[in-house]
Amino acid sequence: MECLGPECAATILEWLRARAGAGEGPMPAAGGPARQGLLWKAAPYQEDAPAITSAAEMAGAVEHLNYSVFRRYRNQLTRAERGRLDNSIENALFKIDRYLARVDEAERALLEVEVSRLRDEVRDHKERTERLRLQARRAELKLAQLTTLTPETFEEFVGELFEAMGYEVSQVGGTGDEGIDLRLARAGLRAVVQCKYHKRGVVGSPELQKFLGTVHHAHAHKGYFVTTSTFSLAAEKFAAEHPIELVDGPRLVELVTEALGPGARKEPEPSWF
C-alpha cells in the first residue's frame, strides 16, 4: 500500500520507534504477512452493528462522526443524501453515548472532550441551517408577492435573500447612501448592492456606469445590481467587462431556489415576468 504525506510518514516512524522500544525483531521481509493493523488505533465503524464494544471501535466511531459532520454541512447534497447522513450522525451519537455509559470515569472524561465538541458542532450547524431555511422561505413568499411590494420592502427582500445565501448583510439605504442599498461580506470579500424596484422599463448602461463608480468608491470587490425589470443589451455588455453582476426577475427566482437548496419545491413564476 502506498503511503503519502507527512502525517503518514510520522505514523510509520512512531510505529518503528515503538517496535524498537519493545525489542521486537526486524520488519517482515517483502511479501511477508502484512501488519497494517499495528499502524492504526481505530477499527472500521460498522453502522449496522448494534453497539460499540471496544476502544478501537469507539475511535472508529469518532472518525466516522467527524467525517459525516463535515460531509453533511460542508457540501452541496441532495435531500436523500442529507437524510442518510442525518440518520448516520444520530445513530453514531446514540451508540457513542451507550459506550460512554459503560466505561470507567477516566476514559469517559477523556473521550467526552471530542464527543462534546462534535455534538456542539452538529447543534450549531442545525441551528444555522434552520435559520437560513426560514430566511429562504420568507424570501420565497415575498418573491410571489413582488407586484405588491414597495421599494423599501423589496430592499428588505433582497437583503434576506443574500443572508440566506450565507452573506453578512448590513442595510444602508436612505439619503446619502451614494447608490448603495446593502453591503455584503463573506469569506473576506466585500460587495455592495443597489436595488431598483421597477414594474416596467429597462435598466440601461448609464445607470451601471454610475454604479461602477459607487463600487470603486466603496472599495468593494464586486457590485450587484438587482431589479425586478430587465437590462438592455448595452448594460449586459458593460457588466460583462466590469465587476458587476446583474440580477433581474428570472435570476431572482434562480437565487431563491438556490437558497432553498436541492430538492426545493418549484413555485410558479410570478406574474410580473
The percentage of the chain sitting over the pLDDT mark of 90, rounded to a whole number, equals: 30
pLDDT tens digit sequence for 100-156: 999 888 888 888 888 898 889 888 888 887 877 776 677 667 666 666 778 888 888
Query: Is the pLDDT reported for residue 269 higher than 50?
Result: no
Does residue 262 have a pLDDT over 90? no
User: Which CATH fold would you assign to the domain 149-260?
Assistant: Trna Endonuclease; Chain: A, domain 1 (3.40.1350)
User: Residue 268 pLDDT > 50, yes or no?
Assistant: no
Q: What is the pLDDT of residues 43-78, one digit of tens each?
A: 888 888 899 988 888 888 889 998 998 888 888 778
Tell me what the mean pLDDT of segment 212-224 comes to: 94
pLDDT for residue 165:
84
At 89 the pLDDT is 92
In this prediction, residue 267 carries a pLDDT of 43
CB-CB neighbours of 207 under 10 Å: 19
Please tell me the predicted confidence (pLDDT) of residue 11: 59
- What is the chain's mean pLDDT, rounded? 79
Confidence band for 211, pLDDT divided at 50, 70 and 90: very high
Between 253 and 270, name the one with better pLDDT. 253
Q: Residues 105-128, buried b or exposed e (16+ Cβ, 10 A)? A: eeeeeebeeebeebbeebeeeeee
pLDDT of residue 109: 87
pLDDT over 70 at 37, yes or no? no
pLDDT given for residue 208 in this prediction = 94
- Count CB atoms within 10 A of the CB of residue 233: 10
**pLDDT at res. 228:** 84
d(CA 184, CA 222): 10
Contact present, 45 and 92 (Cβ < 8 Å): yes
Residue 170 has pLDDT above 50, yes or no: yes
Give the cell for residue 228.
425586478
Question: Where residue 187 falls among pLDDT bands split at 50, 70, 90?
Answer: confident
| pTM, to two decimals | 0.50
Contacts of 149 (CB under 8 A, 6+ apart): 142, 157, 197
Burial label, 132 (beta-carbon count in 10 A; 0-12, 13-18, 19+): middle
CA proximity to 244, closest of 193, 173, 169: 193
**Cα–Cα distance, 37 to 176 (Å, whole number):** 68
